[in-house]
Amino acid sequence: SVGKGKAEKVVTTTCTYCGVGCQFDLNVKDGKILRVTSNPNAPVNGMRLCVKGRYGYQFVHHPQRLTRPLVRQYLLEGKPRPAGADRGPWVEVDWDTALNLTAQKLDDARLQFGADSVGILASAKCTNEENYLMNKLARQVIGTNNIDHCARLCHSSTVAGLALAYGSGAMSNTMKDVAEQSQALFVIGSNTTEQHPVFGTMLRQAVLRRGVKLIVADPRRIDLCEFATLHLQQRPGTDIALLNGLMYIILEKGWADEAFIAERTENFDAFRENLKDYPPEKVAEITGVPVEQLYAAAEIMGTHKPMAVIWAMGITQHIVGVQNVLSLANLQMLLGNMGIPGGGVNPLRGQNNVQGACDMGGLPDVYPGYQKVTLDEARQRFEQAWGASLSPNLGMTVTEMIPAACEGKIKAMLIMGENPVMSDPDSNHVRHCLERLDFMALIEIFPSETSVYADVLLPAVTFAEKDGTFTNTERRIQRVRQAIDPIGEARPDWIILSGLAKRILQRGNRKIDASAPFAGWEYTSPAQIMDEVAAVTPIYAGVDYERLDRGESLQWPVRGKDHPGTPILHVGQFTRGRGKFHPTVHVPPADQPDGQFPMILTTGRVLYHWHGGEMTRRAETLMAIYDRPLVEISPEDAEALGVNGNRRLRLTSRRGSIEAEAWVTDRVPPGLLHANFHFPESPTNELTIAALDPISKIPDFKVTAVRVELVKEP
């Protein structure tokens, strides 16, 4: 499956899968990618690559790529949309036709129902420049803050929680200093070796080569547990109790960093008072973690400094996601582990550019650089830059937008590279809502489960066919470089968005002051877009392609052309001044087991696939290794069920039912199941609940009450 022969050219670029941000070389011959090879100068990964980075590129040349714009026949005929789910046949059209129709439909919705009847999804797969343009299109061209993307579903709790505690919602340290300078590692709710594999390797090496103490807290016995000093196997949804219990012991034993607390933090007394409710015995009862393990973990934390805390969606995807993050922020202040190498709070962002998509304003509450849409000063700055009056109202999150389609509040959507039917909770309801939209335009590389509900399908290019930048989980801005020509008539998203914005504005219904410095849409390159980003985004002020192409490795904030970037945040003082302790309270998960749904399902991903699987299911090497969805079930539960030869299971929740093959494994304890959401034939999110964290609006993907049955052979 890997091309043989000598490459005609080698192009260094950044991986399109996860937020680690590995760089590698695409070897190209006859306009095709022959293979991926390591590049020793890659700042994050050196010669390391995981299986997705090495072989996952194969989707680029897959025959199912969208190569021409598609429009539903009814639109071309000027007829009303057919009622029901089936929107009628697709017709291939030229770009002008597709963009003109899309511009007309979005502008019509805006005029008829108001700008806030339009919903926009940016994309964590696309470049910074493309996400910046999508944010500008939503706010300047349409006039709405209804823009969001899948960060809502992964780390919105992190962004909100860390912003409350520290004033900045991003990973504080670098992967390198965590791996090389920590004395202890606390990994909670992160299956690092499968989801951020190269960083997982760095953590394993920290244990094996430097003897770092590793504590893993996870309801499953994930691979990283093999390297851990201690595995705390807490019940799903009990992280706050666990963390408060550990901090109770740290205080009791005198391991807190009193000087740090006194000099750099506030609200400590209220926090300490709240901890009195979490004595070890009570915590053991709630979490299932034995008291002696709690003491052992607290001792490691209290006596090994610096300790880095690492987390992912096991922490964030709960109805208490923000409170979970605040608890971790409390822990690192209590131990004085902030602002130093080898310590910090280290949320691992999922998608390749989810950090950048947030940085670029792909969120309903902030402009680029986290400047709040509700602050007059910030809004006026962008009004002057873009020459348009902007909405002062908070926009809707994706988890609000889609239900709003059901209520008739969202009439039209523009979606770039997202697949909410696969990725959002309670997918039956998602389909039902998307069906009700008057219009949806989808910018995609493949037909997807969501494109069934689209009226226009605009073919975009992959990472290998465009230029731009991605920002990785540690805020490092890295170049993406075009290696091959676009496949068919597909276009880079930044060109598609520019064409669309110009057409909407040409209709003349939105008043724009053309003399404003960044009113226009005549972009000729992503480098030019980045210059505009730098001009309006203080944390990116010093970023330009010349510096990046010279080999400078920049982590934001980069405050000017002479500023070297900021590898470690919160040195000396927090972004908000003093770090703020927040008392946090254990709240049971929303979807409670009962007699009818007695087990708990937790969802996640596997090493060989990515997100909704649109790309990895089209990479033959990855499919050769993992070609079907597997549900992890404990040997005890498997035996009770009679899983013996007949290994197909039916999982049913209060919302839906799926079938998948069983994987009998002690990775999960009795009573717990784990399923991934990579395969449309087993749409796991038909089971999950759309219960949201009240602040971040993230759904609880981690605790779903289910019943499991054997599927009988016919």
**Which residues are at the interface with ligand SF4 (CB under 6 A)?**
15, 17-18, 20-22, 45, 49-50, 52-53, 196-198
- Comparing CB distances to ligand SF4, the nearer of 37 and 229 is 37
CB of 18 to ligand SF4, least distance (A): 3
Report the C-alpha gap between 287 and 185 in whole angstroms.
21
Closest distance between ligand SF4 and the C-beta of residue 311, in Å? 17
**3-state helix vs strand vs coil in the chain, percent to 5:** 35, 20, 45
Q: In the complex, what is the shortest distance from the CB of residue 714 to ligand SF4, in angstroms, rounded to a whole number?
A: 40
Closest CB 195 distance from ligand SF4, rounded Å: 8
CB of 615 to ligand SF4, least distance (A): 11
| Torsion 402-404-407-411 (CA) sign | negative
* Rounded-to-integer distance, Cα 571 and Cα 356, Å: 22
Answer yes or no: are the C-beta atoms of 135 and 365 closer than 8 Å.
no
Instruction: Decide whether 22 or 232 has the Cβ nearer to ligand SF4.
Output: 22
Looking at beta carbons only, is 192 or 684 nearer to ligand SF4?
A: 192
Candidates 485, 517, 512; CA nearest to 501 is 512
The separation between the first and the last C-alpha atoms of the chain, rounded to the nearest angstrom, is: 37
Choice between 52 and 586, CB closer to ligand SF4: 52
Cβ burial 208-245 (10 Å sphere, 16+ → b, else e): eeeebbbbbbbbbbbbbbebbbbbbbbbbbbbbbbbbb
Could you tell me the smallest distance in angstroms from the CB atom of residue 514 to ligand SF4?
A: 41
Tokens of 72: 């539903």
Is the CB of 45 or the CB of 173 nearer to ligand SF4?
45
How would you class 389 by CB atoms within 10 Å of its CB: exposed for 0-12, middle for 13-18, buried for 19 or more?
A: middle
Sheet holding 90-92, edge to edge: 90-92, 70-72, 456-459, 439-444, 412-416, 118-121, 147-148
Q: Give least dist CB 555 to ligand SF4, A.
A: 16
The residue (of 382 and 610) whose beta carbon lies closer to ligand SF4 is 610
Q: Min. distance of Cβ 433 from ligand SF4 in angstroms?
A: 31
CB of 86 to ligand SF4, least distance (A): 37
C-alpha to C-alpha distance for 35 and 526, rounded to whole angstroms: 26
Q: Which is nearer to ligand SF4, 13 or 399 (CB)?
A: 13
Which of 21/369 has CB closer to ligand SF4?
21
Residue among 33 and 672 whose Cβ is closer to ligand SF4:
33
Residue nearer to ligand SF4 on the CB measure, 237 or 350: 350
Residue 713, CB half-sphere, CA atoms under 13 Å: how many? Answer: 5
**Nearest-approach distance from CB 321 to ligand SF4, in angstroms:** 23
Q: Give counts: helices (H), strands (E), the chain.
A: 26, 28
CA angle, 625 then 62 then 610, to 5°: 45
CB nearer to ligand SF4: give 22 or 569: 22
Q: Give the separation between CA 360 and CA 134, rounded to whole angstroms.
A: 9
Joined together, the tokens standing for residue 468 give 């731009």
> Considering beta carbons, is residue 198 or 705 the nearer one to ligand SF4?
198
Shortest Å, Cβ 175 to ligand SF4: 10
The whole-angstrom separation of Cα 382 and Cα 368 is 10
Place of tokens 């927090």: 574
Contacts of 98 (CB under 8 A, 6+ apart): 69, 70, 71, 456, 458
Kindly tell me which of 352 and 450 has the beta carbon lying closer to ligand SF4: 352
Q: How far is the CB of 695 from ligand SF4 (least distance, A)?
A: 29
Who's near 242: CB < 8 A, 6+ residues apart?
217, 232, 234, 283, 287, 289, 294
CA distance 687 to 705: 9
Which pair of tokens denotes residue 356? 């950048």
Residue nearest to ligand SF4 (CB): 53
- Which residue, 46 or 288, has its beta carbon nearer to ligand SF4? 46
Give the Å distances, CA to CA, from 490 to 70, 218, 265, 480, 619: 11, 42, 52, 18, 20
Query: How far apart are alpha carbons 186 and 309 in whole angstroms?
Result: 5
Q: Per-residue DSSP letters for 664-678?
A: E-TTS-TTEEEEE--
CB of 688 to ligand SF4, least distance (A): 24
Q: How far is the CB of 197 from ligand SF4 (least distance, A)?
A: 4
